[in-house]
Amino acid sequence: MSGLCRDCSNGGSSTVTPIDLNDWSVHLYPEIKNDCPGSTFGANWFVQDASGRRGDTVIQTLNGQQTMFCSPFNIFDPFFSDFDDGVTFTGQIKVEEPPTGETRDDDYFGFALGFNPGDELPDAADSRGADFILVDWKRDSQLYSNSCREDEPGEDDNCLRFPGYDPRGSNQPVEQCDPVRCQDVAGLPSDWNEATEGLAASQVLGLAHADLFWSHFSCPATDRSNEGDFSTGFIEELTRGETRGNTGWNYEQDRNKEWYDFRFDISRTRIRVYVDNCEVPEMTIRAEDLISRNRFNDGKFCFYNYSQENVRYKGFALEERCDPENARPPSPTPPPPPPAGKGKGKGKGKGGG
């Protein structure tokens, strides 16, 4: 069976369950309406059988906006045991080389942990309470904005963005919006709309606009006084990878192996992410660092794409309490039975016969 560190080594029992991706569902964030060439809305998640397993692989083939491909179960559901014990997901990812003559892309793939259907819909009350973890990986740093904004020098007038909801976080549908000019907000950097190369983990709150997924930076500055209900929507970057925090993913031809091996050890209070190394975590996400809570929300385990085509996910499985620090200790060895005739309990009384 393919995958990274599939068997637990913590001395406890564990059940490995291969995941059939045929039962998973597609979720799309709202369309950013514009007339710019190359802009795509939608997603194409295509499930395939492989390695003798049904639903072993899925590939997302479109260069489009934010999309999730999510499990039918919640992260802590599969074992219905003590949720604090934790659960482990393992699997592999690669980005397929483009056809000869086409340019390689350099955008995002990753995972959403604790996402729930409705978190992505501007007209759903559920989206205002969205609170999940985004783990995403960008190949190269890049400046860009999907927001309604003034034309940049040299940009065609037709490239003004007219989103279907307010990019500043009100969650209200709008037919037009004022230009987003973060450069005019005191204290904000001019490169607010830069997607940074490397692997990162963020907390997504409310209905986040495409630009927030792009830069992990709220723009313009969001009024944080109402964090209790997260009704405005923003993203808070929590941590970056130890060795890949500023290093992008790469195509197979530029590295010495075909697939990236991923492992997630997830409990209510900590998430450890491993990439190509099952001994040392690439990042540790702690619930104590979250905004307005100290435990991770339950929800779906999702694959995530943003503007990156031909990402293939393969051989995912889940396993109970693979993380040694979250595992229950083995049951103690029961004491030996007392010698015959010396124990307590029912039996013949003294002098019986």
Q: What is the pLDDT of residues 64-110, one digit of tens each?
A: 889 999 999 999 875 544 445 678 999 999 999 998 888 899 999 99
DSSP state of 131: E
Exposure of 34 by Cβ count < 10 A (0-12 exposed, 13-18 middle, 19+ buried)? middle
- The mean pLDDT value for 106-131 works out to 83
- Show Cβ contacts of residue 270 under 8 Å, excluding neighbours closer than 6 positions: 284, 285, 286, 287, 325, 326
CA–CA separation, 263 and 168 (whole Å): 35
CA–CA separation, 198 and 137 (whole Å): 5
Cβ neighbours, 10 Å, residue 85: 18
CB 246 within 8 A of CB 198: yes
- The mean pLDDT value for 282-301 works out to 93
Structure tokens at 113: 């942990």
Residue 165 or 104, more confident: 104
Q: Tell me the CA end-to-end span of the chain in Å, nearest whole number.
A: 63
User: What's residue 112's pLDDT?
Assistant: 98
Cβ neighbours, 10 Å, residue 124: 15
CB 76 within 8 A of CB 83: yes
User: What's residue 329's pLDDT?
Assistant: 35
Cβ neighbours, 10 Å, residue 95: 23
CA–CA separation, 284 and 269 (whole Å): 11
